[in-house]
Amino acid sequence: MAFYTFAQMEFEFYKYQGTGNDFVMIDNRHKIFPKNNTKLVAQICDRKFGVGADGLILLEEHPTVNFSMVYYNADGNLSSMCGNGGRCIAHFSRFLGIIDDKAVFEAVDGMHEASIQGDMVSLKMNDVTSVKVSDGYVFLDTGSPHHVEIVSNLEAFDVYSEGKTIRNTIYGKEGSNVNFVEAIGDEVFSVRTYERGVEDETLSCGTGVTAVALAMFETGNTQTNTVKLQTPGGLLTVAFTKTDKGYENIYLTGPAAQVFKGIWK
């Protein structure tokens, strides 16, 4: 990957993580960031030549709600919804004094609500009306597209190779995130995710665990509408309501934390 020098480029950034899913967060309410510079985004997210992150998130002004969320994958491209990123930006907005403990914001997939208690953030996800159950896997969109597949011995499973193959061969150029799942209890599932855009396994994926929870309920692998998901980065909870139209009142809950801040030069 080729990187370039960006003259006269200096701004403050914050590093956040939500169950190990890490993001560079920038307050862009004054339009300080060059939004079309995909090479700069990729350089900032690079773990050797930049800050290092799974993605970069801009917090921007919104005319009617608390703020807008603009999310870039680590490859520099604008992406679909990021659940852990949504939880982290809600935490960030409280840090900036924009909200107290409740937020309403707009992301690429529409409006979201979030509530914060300490460092625990609960994010309302959009309704899911279509769950495609196929032979050996489930596909659904929880703000981002997700392939969900049950495997044995998940700890030793080759998530990178198998996820990369599925992402490219089944779903083509646009791709899909790929989640591998193993039950560790009636209401608890272990999850590892290969994320498109990052093109690698991440420690956690918010839209991914949301997809897993709904897929496990849809296929009868759990009977509860509050599911715990153990990721390599930590524990998340997904609660939902099953209706005739699909799934509603979907909430993704887990910790979010500010790690450090710095100046990009």
> Any idea which residues carry the catalytic annotation?
82, 205
Q: Which residues of 79-115 are buried (b: 16+ CB within 10 A; e: fewer)?
A: bbbbbbbbbbbbbbbbeeebbeeebbbbbebeebbbb
Say how far apart CA 252 and CA 209 lie, in whole Å. 8
Instruction: Give the DSSP H/E element, type plus range, for residue 70.
Output: strand 67-73
Q: Do residues 107 and 69 touch, judged by C-beta distance below 8 A?
A: yes
Tokens of 15: 């590093």
Q: Do residues 16 and 257 touch, judged by C-beta distance below 8 A?
A: yes
Helix axes 206-218, 83-95, angle to 10 degrees: 130
Say how far apart CA 55 and CA 38 lie, in whole Å. 12
CB neighbours of 16 closer than 8 A, spacing ≥ 6?
A: 22, 23, 25, 88, 91, 92, 256, 257, 258, 259
